[in-house]
Structure 1
């Protein structure tokens, strides 16, 4: 944790400040507003993802550059699809082509705004893609890794298209999509599978190992199988858990709302905790991956939104008990960090 606070978070904030300044110069008002909002409200996504840079060894700084740029694309596009002016799946698909290109250094840049009215972002999105590509070109080991990152990336992109279309089309599309992939996750419900595809953690893990030079085919395959579905699913289900009230007010899709009742949701998330812990045992640096697993639980449950939620105390208690003492440490540590950050902002 000392290394995270000392080496990772300052680098993450340095990179985010760079992209924030670029976003402030976006000519189109709507695109500028969504870009800035995505950075201001989702900094913790980059902070959490940045932890994976520890796996990159001497290339820690380059790993942070990639993680912040890729996560910033993800958060920006999420805002564009969630909060902006289009409901067109063709537009969403074209926007998310940028995430495929970011993972594919050989791809040429494209007009990612081809199917929407707002277009002039001052090359903001293309510069984010180029940054990712430039970092990946430095790693010979990424040639082994690419098919695994792009596989996870395609699943992520599909989810973003299906879940942002017109409300009456969302469930049929998501259910039909699940049917085509059900053999991968036969023990999951359609909404749990969707959650598992919505995380960037597996990509950050694969890229960081590649940048550290520690990559071969068998390791890449083990990482993908260890992170998908359970680690990624746990990540996104926790994210949706804390956003339930906000999503209800905004009319946004929330996968936690499809559980029959609160007790069922608690049981299933505890199941994801246990399966995640089992699935990461075969990875090198097992302690690191356990830390991420426990940190995810602690970080999300310590979010300020949880305090106001109904039945939150019982849910938090069950999740921390299933996750172990280190999760409780992260829970208390994150609450303190958030409190200190709030005091600093007030000053």
Structure 2
């Protein structure tokens, strides 16, 4: 059965709650079963924790399956597996005794291999003490590869997919090294990219930290719509601004807890709250202008409005200084559907106590 790409907010939310989220939970249940069987205690702990704490990443990313027509379940299979790799490796790097960039690079080779059918799986743990995951990470990689072998036009999108994936991997290496090296490494990395000329170094870093462009490209490919022009348009529309808006919102709501835990937060580098507000507005406006050039522009506009509405509905926002003004202004510039998603998400949180974005 094919799903129709939604053109309005009610249609999107109906598809999401009736079809997408139940299928995501089905996929995640399979990965939870595999994670519980991991022999190494530390790897098992981090695999299960990453799914428990970050289910919403898979749910949100899987909205892109609505672009894949009758292959929407295959799109969800890929998105859940790829996002689970991302969240698992993030946990391993964040909570690791290792500070070795060689280790982080090898771990994230799994994400490159997942995007390239035919790449052999490797010992991604070779530079760390904890080793035996019972084939968990290898199985995630191979699941992604199996999905990507099916569409005949994946090779058309592959260069853009891998480019976005490599930027993500570079970020994860640079931001997890010893604290005194993080900012210099990120600044040097930023200086090498023309795409960052209108951005601050920390904004560019945020733009590389999203998987949404990859999910969009893969879903269009599975839906049989991919060609060279579309691949280029998606990459340029999603990177840097929509992806940057996504991750900056994520950092915005985490400011307080990141400060308490001493974690890197890109929003902390804005000199004032007003500067941060203005830059977020700039990202929203640039995202709107670029996604209008894509097929299904209503869908991509709803993604942008949904990101703003849903993130700013998180319970953590109420604890932030000047949050009321920030939320009001960003919802206003994002569009009226952002308010719909904002309200809808607040209701969803009330119905599911303890859940947080």
TM-score tier (shorter): over 0.9
Q: Show the counterpart of 2:88.
A: 76
Q: Show the counterpart of 1:14.
A: 26
Moved more, 21-30 or 233-242: 21-30
Provide the C-alpha distance between the structure 2 equivalents of 1:249 and 1:24, rounded to a whole number of angstroms: 31
Q: Show the counterpart of 1:277.
A: 288
Superposed displacement of residue 17, structure 1: 1.2
Provide the C-alpha distance between the structure 2 equivalents of 1:214 and 1:87, rounded to a whole number of angstroms: 42
Q: Show the counterpart of 1:155.
A: 167
Q: Show the counterpart of 2:134.
A: 122
Aligned counterparts, 1:174-185, within 5 A: 174-181=186-193, 183-185=194-196
Provide the C-alpha distance between the structure 2 equivalents of 1:271 and 1:248, rounded to a whole number of angstroms: 25
Residues 214-237 of structure 1, C-alpha deviations (whole Å, 9 max, x = no match): 000000000000000000000000
Q: Show the counterpart of 1:141.
A: 153
Aligned counterparts, 1:72-111, within 5 A: 72-111=84-123
Instruction: Give the paired residue count.
Output: 344
Superposed displacement of residue 85, structure 1: 2.0
Provide the C-alpha distance between the structure 2 equivalents of 1:208 and 1:85, rounded to a whole number of angstroms: 37
Q: Show the counterpart of 2:49.
A: 37
- Divergent runs of 4+, >3 A: none
Q: Show the counterpart of 2:199.
A: 188
Which ranges of structure 2 fall in alignment gaps of 5 or more residues? 1-12
Q: Show the counterpart of 2:253.
A: 242
Which ranges of structure 1 fall in alignment gaps of 5 or more residues? none
Q: Show the counterpart of 2:73.
A: 61
Provide the C-alpha distance between the structure 1 equivalents of 2:129 and 2:187, rounded to a whole number of angstroms: 30
Q: Show the counterpart of 1:328.
A: 339
Provide the C-alpha distance between the structure 2 equivalents of 1:343 and 1:33, rounded to a whole number of angstroms: 21
Provide the C-alpha distance between the structure 1 equivalents of 2:180 and 2:110, rounded to a whole number of angstroms: 27
Q: Show the counterpart of 2:6.
A: none
Is residue 209–residue 243 contact of structure 2 (8 Å, CA) maintained in 1?
yes
Provide the C-alpha distance between the structure 1 equivalents of 2:354 and 2:217, rounded to a whole number of angstroms: 36
Provide the C-alpha distance between the structure 2 equivalents of 1:86 and 1:111, rounded to a whole number of angstroms: 17
Superposed displacement of residue 343, structure 1: 8.1
TM-score (norm 2): 0.95
Provide the C-alpha distance between the structure 1 equivalents of 2:209 and 2:301, rounded to a whole number of angstroms: 20
TM-score (norm 1): 0.98
Provide the C-alpha distance between the structure 1 equivalents of 2:79 and 2:318, rounded to a whole number of angstroms: 30
Provide the C-alpha distance between the structure 1 equivalents of 2:128 and 2:351, rounded to a whole number of angstroms: 41
Query: How much is the aligned-residue C-alpha RMSD, in angstroms?
Result: 1.2
Q: Show the counterpart of 2:10.
A: none
Residues 69-89 of structure 1, C-alpha deviations (whole Å, 9 max, x = no match): 000000011111011221110
Q: Quick one: higher RCO (CA 8 Å, sep 6+), 1 or 2?
A: 2
Q: Secondary structure at the match of 1:214?
A: coil
